[in-house]
Amino acid sequence: MKEQSHNVMQGVERMPNRSLFYAMGYTPEELQRPLIGVVSAFSEIVPGHIHLDKIAEAVKAGVYAAGGTPILVPAIGVCDGIAMGHEGMKYSLPSRELIADSVETMAVGHGFDGLVLVPNCDKIVPGMMMAAARLNLPAVLVSGGPMLAGVVDGEEMSLFETFEAVGAYKAGLIDDARIDAIEENCCPGCGSCSGMFTANSMNCLAEAIGLALPGNGTIPAVSGKRTMLAKRAGIKIMEMVERNIRTRDIINAAAVENAMACDMALGCSSNSVLHLLAIAKEAGVPLSLQTIDALSKKTPNLCHLAPAGPTYIQDFDAAGGVPAVLAELASVNKLDTSLMTCTGKTVGENIKGAKNRNPQVIRPIGNPFSATGGIAVLWGNIAPKGAVVKQSAVAPEMLVHQGSARVFNGEDAAIDAIYNGRIKPGDVVVIRYEGPKGGPGMREMLNPTSALAGMQLDKEVALITDGRFSGASRGASIGHVSPEAASGGEIALIEEGDTIQIDIPAGKLNLAISDDEMARRRAAWQPPAPNVTGGWLARYARMVTSADEGAVLE
């Protein structure tokens, strides 16, 4: 079908439009074919994107071979690792909305009949998925694939070890030679960083929700199979256009639940909660933290990939990848296998014959790491609208914890206290005014969590924030506290030395003060001046919703 491009091409009235295509060298024959937007986030500033020009060319080859006309258009992307720890991180989550809006703009403005989305890293994948759901065109997502793990002194490592090494160095636990070796060898080449961090989480979940081909989440970036996958994505979009299979034929309530079940089984980044809430909203699918919490309680955790364990995405791929996990879930009726996917086949057809090749990497469904999912939702008088923790990456001794609050109005003050030895075993570090409005932009807190881990305090110190955590964070790192401090949420009322009670198995996060004392503090609270008063971030702060709603724009 050429439903969209007819608006650009058809009739004498569109002669001026066609003339502009001829100016670019397109032939009349090419303009008779479906026009397929190939949306590439290639740039020379993101390791996960440095090779996307090659992936996009492979997509274009597949589209052309299958009878379409591929048209390359750009998308932006922020590297979270490079943006980490400074003002740049405030732009990371907001960039998701810019990406979704720009894909919509390019697709509608030019009458594309279908889209192949070529992202790889943290906000780019969900931003493109949001756009696909909003536009409801035929669409396939094909990512650039994961980076291989680095090797240092015979030990596999990835980006999160570099952040933890800083804490270890500050604590005098490693020397200059060790930190230099880690710096130079942890990230060996192109691809999304090699653990189950946010980028790889979302690339796996794109596969689980049905918008990406099997293998999308796990085939290494440097593999020839990744190029083959890109060509197949280009071929497959032509089948979707011909059959008029659109994004919302794929992303529905049951598909979102499939993705959440996969999320829980994999132990994905806690950021996946923000992104699935946002994607569901664009698709018109109701999704809440209550639903996510209920799914977590009934879905076993089958994988402990880095940072939760010692295995990396390349190991997960060799073990069978997402299809093997979905097959485990389907074996006990925890997956809807009847749903349509971008392959033109159902989930059940896609996973037929999938095998778990390494039960050490993917636990069999009868022998999970835990009976509940990798992500937990917590509630209490600190977080009346919820908070999120990656419980699969929490040490057993920190699942229940009580400690004294160490309160910081922003990440910078907290990291200074950690680096300078002012955080002690038993403390609960509170970082507030870092939420979607307050930051603005809801910065990731990989620096403080990694510093604590590097100093060997991650099994003794908890951290809570109205900001969020990198998928590379581990420990009792509780984020997305809602309502946020800048909106007058209860996290703004915590005082230095208060007792904070954490019970992850019970889903509880509470401040040990009376309701009367909480009311007294609330009456005395005054909102601080905004951190940012100009530019795009000031507009974002005025428009963004709470984390429990996915931090989408109103």
Residues marked as catalytic: 470
Q: Which residues pair with 176 in a beta bridge?
A: none
**Residue 503 tokens, joined:** 């019970």
Kindly report the backbone phi and psi dihedral angles of residue 337, in degrees, each rounded to the nearest multiple of 5, phi listed first.
-90, 0
- Dihedrals φ, ψ of 238, to 5°? -70, -35
In 166-307, the DSSP E strands lie at: none
d(CA 394, CA 503): 12
| Residue 437 backbone class (left: φ over 0; alpha: ψ -120 to 50; beta: rest) | alpha
Q: Phi/psi class of residue 550: alpha, beta or left (left: φ > 0; alpha: ψ in -120 to 50)?
A: left
Residue 310, token pair as written in the block: 């010692």
From residue 49, give the alpha-carbon distance in Å to each of 63, 199, 214: 21, 11, 20
DSSP-derived 3-state class of residue 264: helix
SS3 category, 378: strand
Q: Which of 348, 302, 298 lies closest to 323 in space, CA to CA?
A: 348
Tokens of 170: 């500050």
Amino acid 12 reads V
Nearest to 368 by CA among 491, 264, 478, 475: 264
Cα-to-chain-centroid distance, residue 338: 26
The values of phi and psi at residue 140, to 5°, are -130, 140
At residue 263's C-alpha, the angle toward residues 155 and 323, to 5°, is: 80
